[in-house]
Chains A and B, each alone.
Chain A
Amino acid sequence: MENILDDYAHRNALRDVDTRLKLALGVGAILIGIFSTTPLSPLIIGLSMGVITVAIARIPFRLYIGLLAIPVSFAAMSGIVILFMTGGGDPLWTVTIFGFSFIMTTESLNLAVLVTCRTFGGMSSLFFISLTTPAVELFSVMRDLRLPKEFVDLSMLIYRYIFVLIGEAIAMHNAQVMRNGYSGFRRSIYAFSMLGAMLFIKAWEKGEALLVAMDARCYDGKLEVMEGERHLDPKGVVSVGCYLCFCSAITILCAGKNFF
């Protein structure tokens, strides 16, 4: 089985910390980052979330950098576009390509930095949640938040069957590779389309088997969410509270302040 983010979430050092606390930290940091008008606080959030994820939750550093590189490189690219496409303020630098001149101004530079920092902060907060909180923990929180029961039940079933489907796909892909299914371009297209078609049929069959399995155990529209004994650790609450207050304070005090 491939290692996916959820597998790390099951093994991280913060696994036993209350889910609500972790969610509060992650979501709070994302919100502060989004509403911030200075690039300073999202930058601090991004860096500190990275430190928390790697040093405290003990997620492998290389994995983390690799994961973060994807959204951050996107953010950097859009930052470059913003740099030359928006205007205002004093011109800093002009490039001429094919007779078109692109002007970088102080305001466009500030906006580009802000957007990139926000993305960085938001993504590292999101990775903090997804790498420390297994999806199964989210279901009970979803119930607590009074989300519709049907929605929660459906997401529980979908969650389980994602892995069944991945398993089937890997097994089928292996069976195809074993018999040279992907030996050429034409063969690859043929094999891949067959994989897709068979996966559809398999998914359908699994769905019917699921119905039988649920019926056999007297299903009447209720899935159980087992909730263990949960108590918030006061030390955790205080430290998360302090962290969020600190970030908010920077956001408010430095509101509108830019690097350039």
Chain B
Amino acid sequence: MHLIETRDLTYVYPGSVTGLEKVNFIAPRNARIAVIGANGAGKSTLFKHFNGILKPTSGSVLIRGEPISKENIREVRKFVGVVFQNADDQIFSPTVEQDVAFGPTNLGLDEETVRHRVEEALRMVGMEDRAGRVPHHLSGGEKKRVAIAGIIAMEPQVLVLDEPTAGLDPQGVADLVGFINSLSRKYGMTVIFSSHDVSLIPEIADYIYVMNKGTIVASGTIDEIFSQAELLTSVRLDVPLLPKLIRSLREHGIDVSMAYTFQEAESAFLKAFKGEP
């Protein structure tokens, strides 16, 4: 049984614009899954099916093996937390802590637990000293953190992030990468996120889905996806710089082993050029 599974999921927007077509997506336990695709490929539309905001036109969405229904929708939304792309759409309470408390309160937890979860969530995103602030005094990156904390406070088992790195500064992106990895490592959470920043993917994902025009055109491990340069460019994406460079060097006859993350590439180059093991 998978945590999230879609079977031939098709969604047609009102006005008969096809959003998704026969999407088969699987999210197992404790996985880090990247959904990549150009603008308008259907990533956000797919994510909105994971917690029942959109309902499939045909096909099905199974959460822990069960289709989403009126009866289990609360359970589903507690289980799958979705962080929207635009943090401003998600933060609606007068203060930061009130916003983070919104989800846990709705789960019917008592005041003590809510307060504890709020503190914990704010600490995890590094915003504990801004609990009493009003959202319109926060920067874009801080709003993003608050939006994530608001979902984390509900303690979902699957965290879905729509374009989490959009509009963040390099330090913010680095923080987020560390954060996502710790969620997966420490808490065994499954993290699903979308991005078109391909260079970031190897750092935070084990498995990749490639989307184009509402369909999934490829899926596989980092190795499997990033070795298909033609496929990626045909869907308006690209191979990250490091594997691209290594491939080019190999074509020129230099013996460097393939690498995707910075650390892997560093040791591959050291090995190739300095002869270190």
- Indicate whether B10 reaches chain A with its CB closer than 8 angstroms: no
In the bound complex, do residue B136 and residue A224 qualify as a contact, i.e. CB atoms below 8 Å apart?
Answer: no
Instruction: State which residues 94-122 of B face A: CB under 8 Å.
Output: 94-95, 97-98, 101-103, 105-107, 114-115, 118
- Alpha-carbon distance A212/B47, docked complex (angstroms): 13
Contact with B along A192-216 (1 / 0, CB 8 A): 0000000000000010011011111
CB distance from B83 to the nearest CB of A (A): 9
Report the stretch among A106-114, A161-169, A176-184 that lies at the interface: A161-169
Complex CA–CA separation, A223 to B98 (angstroms): 8
Minimum CB–CB distance for B16 against chain A, Å: 20
A134 contacts partner chain B, Cβ-Cβ < 8 Å: yes
Give chain A nearest CB distance to B156 CB in angstroms.
10
B42 at interface, CB cutoff 8 A: no
User: Within the complex, which residue of B89, B95, B151 is in contact with A226, where a contact is CB–CB below 8 Å?
Assistant: B95
Whether, in the assembled complex, B135 has its beta carbon less than 8 Å from a beta carbon of chain A, the answer is yes
- Give residues 52-93 of B contacting A (CB, 8 Å): 53, 74, 77-78, 82, 84, 86, 88-93
- Is A253's beta carbon under 8 Å from chain B? no
Choose from A10, A167, A226 the contact partner of B134 (Cβ within 8 Å): A10
Q: Which of A136, A218, A226 contacts B78 (CB under 8 A)?
A: A218
Residues of A within 8 A of B115 (CB): 226
B-side contacts of A215, CB under 8 Å: 53, 77
A217 to B92, CA, bound (A): 12
CB < 8 Å neighbour of B89 from A6, A157, A206, A218: A206
What are 29 A-B pairs with beta-carbon distances under 8 A? A134-B134, A139-B94, A163-B134, A163-B136, A164-B136, A167-B136, A209-B86, A209-B89, A210-B92, A212-B53, A213-B89, A213-B90, A214-B92, A215-B77, A216-B53, A217-B77, A217-B103, A217-B151, A218-B78, A218-B106, A219-B106, A220-B106, A222-B106, A223-B102, A223-B105, A224-B93, A224-B98, A224-B101, A224-B102
Chain A 140-179 interface residues, beta-carbon cutoff 8 Å to B: 156-157, 159-161, 163-164, 167
Confirm or deny: A1 has a beta carbon within 8 angstroms of a beta carbon on chain B. Answer: yes
Q: Which of B95, B98, B106 makes the CB contact (< 8 A) with A217? A: B106
User: Does B150 reach chain A (CB closer than 8 Å)?
Assistant: yes
Contacts of A77 in B (CB 8 A): none
Within 8 A of B (CB), among A1-32: 1, 6-7, 10
Chain A: minimal CB distance from B123 (Å): 16
| A135 interfacial contact with B, CB 8 Å | yes
- In chain B, what residue has the closest Cβ to A222? B105
Q: How far is the CB of A9 from chain B (nearest CB, A)?
A: 10
B155 to chain A, nearest CB (A): 12
Contacts of B136 in A (CB 8 A): 1, 163-164, 167
**Contacts A206-B89, A217-B103 given; does A136 touch B51 at CB 8 Å:** no
Per-residue interface assignment for chain B, residues 148 to 189, with 1 indicating a CB less than 8 Å from any chain A CB and 0 otherwise: 001100100000000000000000000000000000000000
Collect the chain B residues with CB atoms within 8 Å of residue A223's CB: 93, 98, 102, 105
From A139, A163, A210, A218, residue with most partner B Cβ within 10 Å: A218
Cα of A39 to Cα of B94 in the assembled complex, Å: 40
CA–CA, A157 and B93, complex, Å: 6
- CB atoms of B94 and A224 under 8 A apart: no
Q: Residue A63 at the B interface, CB < 8 A?
A: no
**Are A213 and B98 neighbours in the complex by a CB distance under 8 Å?**
no
Question: Is residue A81 contacting chain B, with contact meaning CB distance below 8 A?
Answer: no
